[in-house]
Amino acid sequence: MSNTSWKKTLNDEQLMAVEHLSGPSLIIAGAGSGKTRTLTYKVLNLLENNVAPERILLLTFTNKAANEMTERVASLIGTQKANRIYAGTFHKIGNIFLRKYAKVLNIANDYTILDREDSVSVMQQALKSTSMPLNEKEFPGKKILMAIMGLSKNKHCSIEDVVSEHFSQFTDYVQEIEKVINKYEKLKLEIKGIDFDDMLVLWLQLLKDENTAPKIIKQFDYVLIDEYQDTNKIQSDLTDILASEKQNLTVVGDDSQSIYSFRGADFGNIITFTERYENAKIFKLEVNYRSTKSILELANSSIAHNTLQYEKNLRSFDGRRGTKPIIKNFRNVYAQAEGVTGEVSQLLRNGTSPSEIAVLYRSHYHSMELQMELTRNSIPFTIHSGLKFFELAHNKTLVAFLRASENLKDFVSWKRLLSICQGIGPKTSDKIMSGISKYENLKDLDTNKITSLAPKKSQSTMKELMVIFENIAKLDLKEGPGESVRHIIESPFFNNYLLKNFQNVDERMDDCWQFLSFVEKFISISELLDELSLVSSGEDYYNGNPGIVLSSIHQAKGLEWKNVFIIWLCEGKFPVYKSINIKENLEEERRLFYVAVTRAKQKLYLSFPRVDSRNQHGYERPIEASRFLMEIPPHLYQDSDNYYY
Partner DNA sequence: GCGAAGTCGTTTTTT
Partner DNA sequence: ACGACTTCGC
14, 62, 152, 292: which one binds DNA (CB under 7 A): 62
Quote the DSSP letter at residue 192: T
Query: Cβ 413 to DNA, closest distance in Å?
Result: 15
Query: Cβ 498 to DNA, closest distance in Å?
Result: 14
* Residue 581 lies near DNA (rule: CB under 7 A): no
Q: Determine the Cα–Cα distance for residues 224 and 432; give it in Å rounded to an integer.
A: 50
156, 179, 364, 409: which one binds DNA (CB under 7 A): 364
Contacts of 36-40 with C-beta under 8 Å, sequence gap 24+, read 36/65, 36/68, 36/69, 36/226, 36/558, 37/9, 37/10, 38/10, 38/14, 38/252, 38/285, 39/69, 39/224, 39/226, 39/250, 39/252, 40/69, 40/72, 40/73
Q: Which CB sits closer to DNA, 47 or 65?
A: 65
Segment interacting with DNA, rule: CB under 7 A, options 168-176, 249-257, 379-387, 406-414 = 379-387
336, 484, 552, 602: which one binds DNA (CB under 7 A): 552
> How many C-beta neighbours within 10 Å does residue 542 have?
14
615, 618, 622, 642: which one binds DNA (CB under 7 A): 615
6, 262, 317, 645: which one binds DNA (CB under 7 A): 262
Q: C-alpha 344: how far from its chain's center?
A: 27
Using CA atoms, how far residue 303 sits from 590, 591, 592, 628, 631, in Å, is 7, 7, 10, 9, 10
Closest CA to 98 of 189, 218, 212: 212
84, 179, 263, 281: which one binds DNA (CB under 7 A): 263
Determine the 3-state secondary structure of 507 from DSSP: helix
Segment interacting with DNA, rule: CB under 7 A, options 181-189, 381-389, 407-415, 469-477 = 381-389
578, 583, 624, 639: which one binds DNA (CB under 7 A): 578
Answer yes or no: are the C-beta atoms of 28 and 253 closer than 8 Å: yes
* Residue 365 lies near DNA (rule: CB under 7 A): yes
Q: Is the dihedral of CA 542, 544, 548, 551 positive or negative?
A: positive
Give 622's strand partners: 611
Q: How many helices (H) and strands (E) does the chain have?
A: 31, 18
Q: C-alpha 641: how far from its chain's center?
A: 38
* Residue 231 lies near DNA (rule: CB under 7 A): no
* Residue 141 lies near DNA (rule: CB under 7 A): yes
Q: Which CB sits closer to DNA, 50 or 616?
A: 616
Pairing of strands 621-622, 611-612: antiparallel
Residues 485-524, mask of contacts with DNA (x by CB under 7 A):
----------------------------------------
Residues 393-432, mask of contacts with DNA (x by CB under 7 A):
x----------------------------xxxxxxxx---
Segment interacting with DNA, rule: CB under 7 A, options 59-67, 175-183, 186-194, 343-351 = 59-67
Q: Determine the Cα–Cα distance for residues 528 and 531; give it in Å rounded to an integer.
A: 5
Query: Cβ 78 to DNA, closest distance in Å?
Result: 27
89, 125, 205, 236: which one binds DNA (CB under 7 A): 89
Closest CA to 401 of 466, 324, 474, 341: 466
Answer yes or no: are the C-beta atoms of 157 and 189 closer than 8 Å: no
Q: Which CB sits closer to DNA, 78 or 423?
A: 423
* Residue 616 lies near DNA (rule: CB under 7 A): yes
The residues of the shown chain that bind DNA, judged by CB under 7 A, are 61-63, 89, 91-92, 115-117, 120, 124, 134-136, 141-143, 196, 259-260, 262-263, 362-365, 368, 385-387, 393, 422-429, 457, 537, 552, 554-555, 576, 578-579, 585, 614-616
